[in-house]
Amino acid sequence: MEPLKIAVLHIRDTREHNPGFQLELDELNANTAAQIRAEGHEPELVATRQLSLEQVQQVVDRSDAVIIMGGEDVDPELYNGPEDYPGSGAHEPQADRNQIAAIRYAMATDTPLLGICRGMQLLNVALGGTLVQHLHNTQGHRGEGRDPFALTRAGFVADELAEDLSARDVHRCSHHQSIHSLGAGLQIAAMSNDEVIEAVVHHSAKATAVQWHPEHSQTAGSQLGPLIRRLARQHARPTAGEAGILRRHLVVA
C-alpha cells in the first residue's frame, strides 16, 4: 500500500492566553503525527483557525484522510445552545466553522475521516446534532489536578468495531461535554458504563469518531494505531454509492 497523506487538523499553534493548554495539545498533536509515521504514512499538521474556506478545501483535496483533533468547547451558536453554561471558557468560532467545512467536504468527497474528542463533537454538530454542555458526572470523564485525563472503560462497543475501538482497553478521556442528540446518519459505536456516548460511526460515509484520546503517549500505539489502519482500509475501499448523495447535501457553507 502506498503511504497515505493524512491531514491532522488542530486549532492554533500558539495560545498566549493559555500556554499550559497549548503544551498539552502540542504533545497530543506530536503523538498523532508520530503514530501516523509509525504506520508508514505522512502526516500534515494544519492549524485551521486562520484558513479561508478555499484553503480548507485545498487541505482536504491534497489528503487521503483527515483527522480532527481536540481543543476548546465547540461554539454553542453552532448547535443553538445557550452561551452561558457550567465550565464554559474560550471558544474558537472561526476554527469551528473551518473544521466543520473540512468535515463536510471530506464526507462529500469520500475522504476517510477520524474525529478525536472535540473532533467527535464537531462531527456531530456538522451533521445537525446537539451537545450536552456540561456532564453531571464530569469527574468520570475529566481528570482533576495536574493530570487532565480520567480513565474510562466502555460498557458497550459494537462487535464489528471492537478491534478498531480497542474495546477491552482503558481509555483516557478529558472532556466535560458530550453528544446529546445524534447528527444525521451517525450511529453509536461505543458508550461508557455511565451511558456517555464514547464513539460514533456514519452509516454510509467513511467517518469514525471517538470521545477519548487514543493519541495519549501511553496508548498511541495500541489505540490510535488501529484507528489509523481503519482510515487506510477505508481509503482502499471503492467509493461508496452514497457519495453522490452526500456531495449534494454536504456542501461547504
- The catalytic residue positions are 117, 213, 215
The neighbour count for residue 30, using CB atoms within 10 Å, is 16
State the DSSP code for 67.
Answer: E
**CB neighbours of 118 closer than 8 A, spacing ≥ 6?**
68, 69, 70, 71, 72, 73, 74, 175
Q: State how far the Cα of 228 lies from the Cα of 67, in Å rounded to an integer.
A: 9
Contact 198, 208 (CB under 8 A): no
Contact 4, 41 (CB under 8 A): yes
Contact 155, 192 (CB under 8 A): yes
Q: State how far the Cα of 171 lies from the Cα of 14, in Å rounded to an integer.
A: 27
Q: State how far the Cα of 15 lies from the Cα of 90, in Å rounded to an integer.
A: 11
What are residue 6's DSSP bridge partners?
43, 65
